[in-house]
Amino acid sequence: MSPDTALGPSPSGAGSPAQGGAPLDLSSATLIGRGWKRDCYLHPADPELCIKVPSAEPKGTRRFRERFIEWRTGGSIGDQHNAREWAAYRRFGNLLAAYLPVYHGLIATTRGRGLLIDVVRDADGAPSAHLKDWLRDKPVATAAPLLTQLNGLLDLLLRHEIWLMDLNLTNFVARIDAEGAARPMLIDIKRIADNKELFQVSGWSRTLMRRKLARRIARFHAKVEMTQNG
């Protein structure tokens, strides 16, 4: 199986080059989220699935580095982020499984190559709220169990030196289960670079790198607190 082909159940085979399907038509698909470089659509034939595709109008400043990458790879930055995220899932998916939806792989769509993922929904079927929206105004006691689990996830990232490209609250949702308990789920696991690349580029010692990652995680904790306190 090539890493560029879909692993998962694309219902009609559409979009899966391995099955000789046509690109999945997203022209009338429902948009469920808009990120910095990618848009997320509901799968037109399966409401359990969504597809992240490169955004037609990426947000944020288009830095020289981004334009250089696009020129070098011949693909958009959103496409590159999808490839990075799929690679991260294949590497760390098992380790982080308790906090992740299932990812099914890269598929061809009419909006370019997309990443097929299970939609994170609450037990009642509603799409789970962004962590930022869920946390806002939540009494400390209500938020505490979710924050304990979030700390567990952050510890895993630190222990295994996993550098997510952005560690911010919009990359998490709060999934509510049938008992009403909330669980933090990570919906964007693309990494900055392979750890190997980081070591080569930076030349930092492992200790320094870990310290920097710990600071990053501490900043994330601060963002969580600020959101909670309004």
Ligand X SMILES: Nc1ncnc2c1ncn2[C@@H]1O[C@H](COP(=O)(O)OP(=O)(O)O)[C@@H](O)[C@H]1O
**How far apart are the C-alpha atoms of 74 and 78, rounded to whole Å?**
12
**How far apart are the C-alpha atoms of 52 and 79, rounded to whole Å?**
9
Q: Does residue number 186 form part of the binding site for ligand X (CB under 6 A)?
A: no
Closest CA relative to residue 174, chosen from 132, 144, 139, 137: 132
The two three-digit tokens of residue 4, written as one number: 């560029």
**How far apart are the C-alpha atoms of 41 and 19, rounded to whole Å?**
22
187 Cβ neighbours under 8 A, 6+ residues apart:
101, 117, 120, 171, 172, 173
Stretch that binds ligand X, among 20-28, 31-39, 135-143, 149-157 (CB under 6 A): 31-39
81 binds, among ligand X, Mg ion, none (CB under 5 to 8 A by kind): ligand X
- The 188-217 contact track toward Mg ion, x by CB under 5 A, reads x-----------------------------
Q: Judged by CB, which is closer to ligand X: 14, or 189?
A: 189
Whether residue 146 contacts residue 183, with contact meaning beta carbons closer than 8 Å, is answered with: yes
Q: Does residue number 85 form part of the binding site for Mg ion (CB under 5 A)?
A: no
Q: Does residue number 96 form part of the binding site for ligand X (CB under 6 A)?
A: no
Residues 76, 153, 183, 188: which binds ligand X (CB under 6 A)?
A: 188
Q: Does residue number 171 form part of the binding site for Mg ion (CB under 5 A)?
A: yes
Q: Does residue number 33 form part of the binding site for ligand X (CB under 6 A)?
A: yes
Residues of this chain that interact with ligand X (CB under 6 A) are 32-33, 35-38, 40, 50, 52, 81, 101, 117, 119-120, 127, 170-171, 187-188
